[in-house]
Structure 1
Amino acid sequence: MTRVPAELTDRLLDVRRIYHERDIERFPRAREVLGRFPDAERIEVLSHQAIPGLHGNAGAVEDWVRNKREVLVLGEKKSLAARRNGRSADWIAPSTANGCAMACAYCYVPRRKGYANPITVFANIEAVLGYLERHAGRQGVKPEPNQCDPVDWVYDIGENSDCSADALVSDNVRDLVDLYARLPHAKASFATKLVNRDLLAWDPRGGTRVRFSLMPEGPSRAVDVRTSRVRDRIAAIDDFVEAGYEVHLNLSPVIVHETWLAEWAELLEQVADGTSARSRAQLAAEVIFLTHNEELHEVNLGWHPKGEELLWRPDLQEAKRSQSGQVNVRYRTGWKGRWVRQLTDLVEDKLPGCRIRYAF
């Protein structure tokens, strides 16, 4: 197992219960994880996806953060498929984890899992690695540049989790970084709100793109619960570039309020002043304005109502029903387009040369 930063782990995790699928110890990765938390209670469940008393339990709202700190889930990823994307990556890789130790108030994963989303580790990492290597091999050379990358096929390895936090629990992320360090024509990518400096000791050889998620410090303190401070994420950019990672910015979620544009101007100046010329030369960014959810809003009122003052703004937002039938809210048509242009112009002004890969 990789060395884990003790202070960071202690702040985020105090694992007391591990829910696991039957016969999970047949996987070496599961045995490693169980060995890291020898005093935790072990509870066998039929499926990692539906755990009685945890998922779908409205009464667990008041234990929202406690579950993230004290609960871990071990399961097998049974469906291995790469899904086309075209925005943050060409492909969404099969997950090697799900859920998070952090508690960002706008996170969409709890909508699917139901009131609690602690880290789930998928123990069959060898199967995932083998699938991804074969998939990348079938793609061959990328025929032409696109907004994901001019050369490589990009695989998002952290759609449903934060890989920096996952690396506190298992070596799954390190195995993925090692894989993409040697695969031709392919690159891993993940967004993160956590500075885990253990990743600096790995050898990515340019095969992994780390997208540090940034927003102004004030809103971040209200809604980025249990994450690294924004100034610490900015301070880590140079170190990750020097360690062999490609580093991009995930300007997300953009939360509109009365002083939002001035705060973003200050943030972008902090990035410009706090990074080297080498780092800035390879920067690119994606810009994603907030989409919120009616059910998640109701959940958040049960554990973190202060954040909803920023996130839930009916005066600025309009409803849109998702394909799954849920009611999402996003900034109103017309207004949002104008705000997107204002922010992208600001990026061009404050971070000249930072290419915006997409904005919506």
Structure 2
Amino acid sequence: MNRRTPESLAGRLLHVTRIYHEPDIERFPRARQVLDRYPAAERIEVLSHQAIPGLYGNEGNVEDWVRNKREVLVLGEKKSLSARRNERSSDWIAPSTSNGCAMACSYCYVPRRKGYANPITVFANIEKITGYLERHAARQGVKAIANQCDPVDWVYDIGENSDCSVDAMVSDNVHDLVDLFARLPNAKASFATKLVNRDLLTYDPRGGTRIRFSLMPADTSRVVDVRTSKIADRIAALDDFVDAGYEVHLNFSPVIVHENWLADWTELLTQVADGTSARTRAQLAAEIIFLTHNEGLHEVNLGWHPRGEDLLWRPDLQQTKRSESGQWNVRYKTGWKGRWVDQLTDLIATTLPECRIRYAF
């Protein structure tokens, strides 16, 4: 059966015309692979993938928010490797093999750090990264105490600042990571995604990779999930990914509150219950994260997608809090949010009872 991703999907998301790259990047086979994939793209050498004049920090790029995501790639070397403790979606955050995204979800926190542009950066030294992860997992030994991340395996989030389903269209980094965790005896990869990339069905994960499909009600997704797969397509893919050997969880994030939000969530959960097999539902687990927004991101979004802010920026429902970085974040008001979390978890218990809730906040 041909399960290759249709060309229209990759073509819709990426039409690379410009590649910024660090000096001597072609010494890495993975960089050569990416460059060969886009032979007509203009190549521009830069000193660092983190400091590209005219791309990052250029307020005028707000007008080209989506164009930069579609047309620009960055190639660099990941020089500092570390696995950070997490203990929420995973035990560890793995060193990135990429950051940035071709999709343009208007609530995404990553652009806050990069400044008016967020195209994909591919790290070409994949062998160094996978070698580090293999040694790190070996040092952990057997997971002696089960936790909400996983009862048996140490879980490594491999897509904290990117979407691995998109990254897999650009290079083989994701394939290499899935192969790595398929053979590690005590560790599992994990990533959240909003894209159905059926190329991943040709991999051989052997239970070593957990894909967390992000879901929200379709009407809300059509406004804020810009350039992503339709919610119906994500639900339709769940059984296929379980059958292909992946562990499949759900990422109910962000939960966006509005006047009809509970009715919309009832419809969504019913669609999942009716659209998946008993086998898929039996292994489901979910994380629930209510929206946190940011004043700076709000201002950026007003420059390219103001309609989304009608849902995301609700001062009547939200309260402000200063973040550790000094920025002003907004979250739903404390007393109300607690009730809304209880309402949603109760709804899941009655509508999709097989789905275990890993955490909710």
Shorter-chain TM-score bucket reads: over 0.9
Q: C-alpha separation between the residues in 1 aligned to 2:313 and 2:212?
A: 26
Q: State the 1:50 CA deviation.
A: 1.4
Structure 2: stretches of 5+ with no match in the other structure: none
User: What is the one-letter code of the residue matched to 2:97?
Assistant: T
Contact persistence 2:5–2:198 (CA under 8 A): no
Match of 2:20 in 1: 19
Match of 2:188 in 1: 187
SS at match of 1:168: helix
SS at match of 1:46: coil
Q: C-alpha separation between the residues in 2 aligned to 1:120 and 1:258?
A: 38
User: What is the one-letter code of the residue matched to 1:55?
Assistant: Y
SS at match of 1:324: coil
Match of 1:141 in 2: 142
Match of 2:335 in 1: 334
Q: State the 1:5 CA deviation.
A: 3.9
Q: C-alpha separation between the residues in 2 aligned to 1:254 and 1:4?
A: 29
Match of 2:223 in 1: 222
Contact persistence 2:164–2:193 (CA under 8 A): yes
Q: State the 1:4 CA deviation.
A: 5.9
Q: C-alpha separation between the residues in 2 aligned to 1:188 and 1:7?
A: 28
C-alpha distance after superposition, 1:270-327 (max 9, x if no partner): 0000000000000000000000000000000000000000000000001111111111
Q: C-alpha separation between the residues in 2 aligned to 1:162 and 1:52?
A: 25
Q: C-alpha separation between the residues in 1 aligned to 2:49 and 2:295?
A: 25
Within 5 Å, which residues of 2 pair with 1:315-334? 315-334=316-335
Contact persistence 1:5–1:198 (CA under 8 A): no
SS at match of 1:10: helix
User: What is the one-letter code of the residue matched to 2:296?
Assistant: E
C-alpha distance after superposition, 1:21-70 (max 9, x if no partner): 11101100000000000000000111111111110110000000000000
User: What is the one-letter code of the residue matched to 1:71?
Assistant: V
Contact persistence 1:4–1:168 (CA under 8 A): no
Q: C-alpha separation between the residues in 2 aligned to 1:349 and 1:48?
A: 48
Q: C-alpha separation between the residues in 2 aligned to 1:328 and 1:41?
A: 38
Contact persistence 1:20–1:73 (CA under 8 A): yes
Q: State the 1:353 CA deviation.
A: 2.0
Match of 1:310 in 2: 311
Using the size of structure 2 for normalisation, the TM-score is 0.99
Shift in alpha-carbon separation, 1:5–1:171, aligned structure 2, 3 A: farther
Q: C-alpha separation between the residues in 1 aligned to 2:323 and 2:167?
A: 28
Q: CA RMSD in A?
A: 0.9
SS at match of 2:63: helix
Q: C-alpha separation between the residues in 1 aligned to 2:21 and 2:228?
A: 26
Match of 2:264 in 1: 263
Q: C-alpha separation between the residues in 2 aligned to 1:324 and 1:78?
A: 24
Match of 1:118 in 2: 119
Within 5 Å, which residues of 2 pair with 1:1-360? 5-360=6-361
Percent of counterpart pairs with the same letter? 82
SS at match of 1:56: coil
Using the size of structure 1 for normalisation, the TM-score is 0.99
Q: C-alpha separation between the residues in 2 aligned to 1:5 and 1:265?
A: 32
Give 4+ residue runs of structure 1 displaced > 2 Å after superposition.
Answer: none
SS at match of 1:167: helix
C-alpha distance after superposition, 1:139-191 (max 9, x if no partner): 01001110000110000000000000000000000000000000011000000
SS at match of 1:141: coil
Contact persistence 2:99–2:120 (CA under 8 A): yes
SS at match of 2:35: helix
Q: C-alpha separation between the residues in 1 aligned to 2:326 and 2:5?
A: 41
C-alpha distance after superposition, 1:63-89 (max 9, x if no partner): 000000000000001110000001000
Q: C-alpha separation between the residues in 2 aligned to 1:267 and 1:134?
A: 41
In the comparison of the two structures, how many residue pairs are matched?
359
Q: C-alpha separation between the residues in 1 aligned to 2:300 and 2:25?
A: 32
Q: C-alpha separation between the residues in 2 aligned to 1:261 and 1:278?
A: 27
Shift in alpha-carbon separation, 1:268–1:4, aligned structure 2, 3 A: closer
Q: C-alpha separation between the residues in 2 aligned to 1:7 and 1:353?
A: 35
